[in-house]
Structures are given as structure tokens and as C-alpha cells.
């Protein structure tokens, strides 16, 4: 948010949004896809710092462990869980949903951040064009 106004802009961080928002995330559980880098990582880091419980997904569990460790170093009281999810596979989406459900965690908010962009033409294992299948179909299934 710039000095001239209180409106978010392209340089606004998740931390700035949460610090200025009239939203209490303490004790709420957020499920975030695409949280191992970039906007997703910044989002889970900031949510955890503000007392939210975090559940996030990753194709690469080693990358997920690094993010979870970083969060716990910055916010020792953080409650962070992560599970494997490959959004290019609907079977993986179903398995992820079942694993989260079996954990007993009640999700309050879903942030569908993961996605691919400008990749060479290919298809998901389910036959969808990769970008459409990953960014839209898989997230739609996850919300079900």
C-alpha cells in the first residue's frame, strides 16, 4: 500500500494487507495451494505470523519442508501442515482431499494460488490441456 493511499498495489505484500485489514485470522485454518514459492509462500508466512493455522500443498515435499521450517523459525508458535499435491492429476487432488479430510482439520478458507503459465502445449494425465487442467479443473475439484 502506497504512502498516498490505503489501496493495495502491485508492490503490496501479504504482510501489509494482513496488518492493515480488519480481519482476525487467529485460529482460522487456511488451505493454500502453490505455497512453496512466490506469492503462495509469502501468503502462508504472513498468515502464520498472524496466528492462522496453515495447511498447504506441494508437488515437491522437500520444498514444502523448507517453507514449513522457515515459517516455524520466524513464528515458533506456527501451526503448519503440508501434503503432497500434483494439480495436473485429478487422482492426486482426490488423494490430497482425502488426506486432509482424514487429518480432522476443518478448513475455513481455501486460497487457490497454484498454477502454471505459458508452458509448452501438453496435457494433464487426465487429458486436459495442462494450463486449463491445472489452474481451473483441479482447483474446481478441490473445492468439491
Q: How many CA atoms lie within 13 A of 111 on its CB side?
A: 20
109 three-class SS? strand
* Residues in a beta bridge with 111: 32
Q: Are strands 53-58 and 29-33 parallel, antiparallel or unpaired?
A: parallel
pLDDT digits (tens, 9 = 90+) for 44-90: 999 999 999 999 999 999 999 999 999 999 999 999 999 999 999 99
- Residue 21: its pLDDT value, please? 82
- Residue 82: its pLDDT value, please? 98
- Residue 60: its pLDDT value, please? 97
- pLDDT of 5 higher than 90: no
pLDDT digits (tens, 9 = 90+) for 77-95: 999 999 999 999 999 999 9
Instruction: Please compute the mean of the pLDDT values over residues 12-29 and round it to a whole number.
Output: 89
Per cent of the chain over pLDDT 70 is 96
Residue 29 · residue 55 · CB < 8 Å:
yes
- Residue 114: its pLDDT value, please? 95
DSSP state of 6: S
Tell whether the torsion through CA atoms of 35, 41, 42 and 47 is positive or negative: positive
- pLDDT of 13 higher than 90: no
Structural domains for the chain? 26-143 (3.40.50.720)
Give a three-class secondary structure readout of 114-139.
CCCCCCCCCECCCCCEHHHHHHHHHH
Following DSSP, what letter does each residue of 24-78 receive, concatenated? --TT-EEEEES-SSHHHHHHHHHHHHTT-EEEEEES-HHHHHHHHHHHHHH-TT-
Q: What are phi and psi of 10, to 5 degrees?
A: -70, -15
Amino acid at each position: 500500500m502506497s504512502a498516498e493511499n490505503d489501496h493495495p498495489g502491485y508492490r503490496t505484500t501479504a504482510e501489509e494487507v494482513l496488518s492493515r485489514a480488519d480481519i482476525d485470522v487467529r485460529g482460522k485454518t487456511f488451505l493454500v495451494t502453490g505455497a512453496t514459492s512466490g506469492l503462495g509462500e509469502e501468503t502462508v508466512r504472513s498468515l502464520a505470523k498472524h496466528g492462522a493455522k496453515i495447511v498447504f500443498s506441494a508437488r515437491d515435499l522437500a520444498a514444502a519442508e523448507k517453507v514449513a521450517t522457515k515459517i516455524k523459525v520466524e513464528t515458533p508458535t506456527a501451526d503448519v501442515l503440508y501434503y503432497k499435491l500434483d494439480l495436473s492429476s485429478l487422482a492426486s487432488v482426490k488423494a490430497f482431499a482425502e488426506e486432509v479430510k482424514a487429518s480432522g482439520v476443518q478448513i475455513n478458507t481455501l486460497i487457490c494460488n497454484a498454477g502454471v503459465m505459458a508452458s509448452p502445449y501438453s496435457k494433464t494425465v487426465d487429458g486436459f490441456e495442462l494450463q486449463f487442467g491445472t489452474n481451473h479443473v483441479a482447483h474446481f475439484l478441490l473445492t468439491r
